[in-house]
Amino acid sequence: MDQHPYIGQPFLKREAVEKRILFSVNKGRAYRGKAVETTYYLTAKSKRKAPEFQGVEDAIRMMLIHGTTELWPGPEKEPSAYKKHMSWLKEIKFLGINRKKKIERALITISTPLRFFDTLPNRIPLAQLRMATQSEPFNGFCDFTARVVDYKFPEEFKDKFLGQIWPHKRIRRYLKIGKDEPIIGTIVKPKWLPPEIFARRVSQAAISGALFVKSDENLHLTKKELAEYVSLTVKMLKKNGFDLSSTPKAGKKRLLFAPHITANPSDILEYAKIAVDHGANCLMFSPHFSGDFEIIREIYAMGEKYRVPIYTHTAGMNRCCGDPSYSSGDDPRVVYLLAALSGAAFMQLPALRGYVRPTDVEKKPIIDRLKQENLIGNDGMTLVIAGGLGAHNIGYNIKILGLQGKMFLAGTAIFHHPDGVRAGIDAIKLAVEAADKGIIEVPQLKKYAESLGKKGAPLLRALKGK
């Protein structure tokens, strides 16, 4: 697709049609109490010989009826609280009509009353929220598709989210680094390694200057294996002068080590307990496979010892966000918003000029949405720039995205460097130094590396073939 269908697109001026649809679909839906506002990108089939945007109007009516409930059908008297369970259309803006393909497009906002789905007094009912705003009425009917673009929550509902336990400033404080020093991390490669080699590679990366090391998301271990991998790695790190405790001793080196614990929802807490009990001071899992973001709250509820930073991996996210036509599932900004509100310390934002979704055009709206909620920067979730990151593009990412609130994670670029792990990290650090001088494009980076003589060799080797 050459152009995004709704990001940055102008709206058509159709005030009369907006009023017609608002009046028509909201008949009998008079309740205006506290509600979650969900914005959708709606694509619907045009109706033959029907008024303009009749397809959109019919789709919205179906979404309201099947998303919450229909007008009272009788014959009994309508219960007094019935209307408090009915959604309504708050806003509609038109994006266009493709008359050849007979497709109508609009951005709409539907309000869903808290009374309808908010079933938990002190927690976020994420499953019910998704059922009420994302299930069959929105993506399962034949004549339209609705992509969730954004949520706006009432304050009393938003206050039930866990919030940021490990904001970016606390990560920097734990690692004992200044506000302008880039956080460079890595991913152990290849994906599978026996425990001794895995532990050695984590230690090599840490000794070479990585501040964060995680296993690959496709390193799948039994509980017994997880205990072995983590304990052996922590032992080797301690031997090399690292202290992974919650309050590292003076003079000890610091590192965040995150084993991968994605498992069935029924097993995830036990995996988290095993990893921390054997010395891990950070955890990584995919909420898209292991029970959603509220798992973070459950891990922390096990006790203070387990309130370590948690990296919510994007594995599985693009089953919902990766539609190449951007017409179904979730806009990724929704996922990042829920992650940050739910207490995720880290979440990957794929590198610019990388190869992983979300696409580059989707990244600014993600950052802007997090800014609106003060969930990015020193007080917010750390965005992990990764996925095709290396010496060739880290400078560009720093220039466009900035250092504050970010961590830069390179895996293959470090572990597959022809001169080894230390050279891989040195190449990344040299590229960061070059970026500070305004040098970010590959031809200039090569000249910069050559100008450094022997010191620039790791960077020059990393850029070979780029």
* φ/ψ (deg, to 5) at 112: -110, 115
Res 355: pLDDT: 84
Mean of the per-residue pLDDT values of the chain: 95
Given a cut of 60, whether residue 390 has pLDDT beyond it is yes
**Any idea where the domains of the chain sit in the sequence?**
15-158, 168-462
pLDDT above 70 for 1: no
- Helices 195-207 and 223-239 cross at an angle (nearest 10°) of 40
User: Given this chain, do its domains 15-158 and 168-462 carry the same CATH topology?
Assistant: no
CB 82 within 8 A of CB 113: no
Distance CA 92, CA 112 (A): 15
Q: Is the pLDDT of residue 77 over 80?
A: yes
Please, which residues bridge with residue 162 across strands?
none
pLDDT on residue 95: 98
- Type of residue at 54: Q
Residues 341-362 have a mean pLDDT of 93
pLDDT confidence of residue 33: 96
Q: Which amino acid is at 246?
A: S
Looking at 3.30.70.150, 3.40.630.30, 3.30.70.360, 3.40.190.10, the CATH number of the domain 15-158 comes to 3.30.70.150
Q: Does residue 353 carry a pLDDT above 60?
A: yes
Do the Cβ atoms of 425 and 209 come closer than 8 Å?
yes
Q: Residue 403: pLDDT band by 50, 70, 90 thresholds?
A: confident
Q: Tens digits of per-residue pLDDT, 85-140?
A: 999 999 999 999 998 899 999 999 999 999 999 999 889 999 999 999 998 777 77
What pLDDT digit, counting tens, does each position of 289-343 carry?
Answer: 999 999 999 999 999 999 999 999 999 999 889 999 999 999 999 999 999 999 9
Q: State which CATH number among 3.40.50.11540, 3.20.20.110, 3.40.630.30, 3.40.50.300 fits the domain covering 168-462.
A: 3.20.20.110
pLDDT of 2 over the 80 cut:
no
For residue 62, the model assigns a pLDDT of: 94
What b/e sequence results for 33-49 when a residue is b if at least 16 CB atoms lie within 10 Å of its CB, and e otherwise? eebbbbbbbbbbbbbee
pLDDT tens, position by position, 189-219:
999 999 999 999 999 999 999 999 999 999 9
- The residue type of 63 is M
The half-sphere exposure of 227 on its side-chain side, counting CA atoms within 13 A, is 6
Half-sphere exposure in the Cβ direction for 356 (13 Å, CA): 17
Determine the pLDDT at residue 142: 83
Q: pLDDT-derived band of residue 164, with 50, 70 and 90 as boundaries?
A: very high
Q: What is the pLDDT of residue 141?
A: 82
pTM of this structure: 0.95
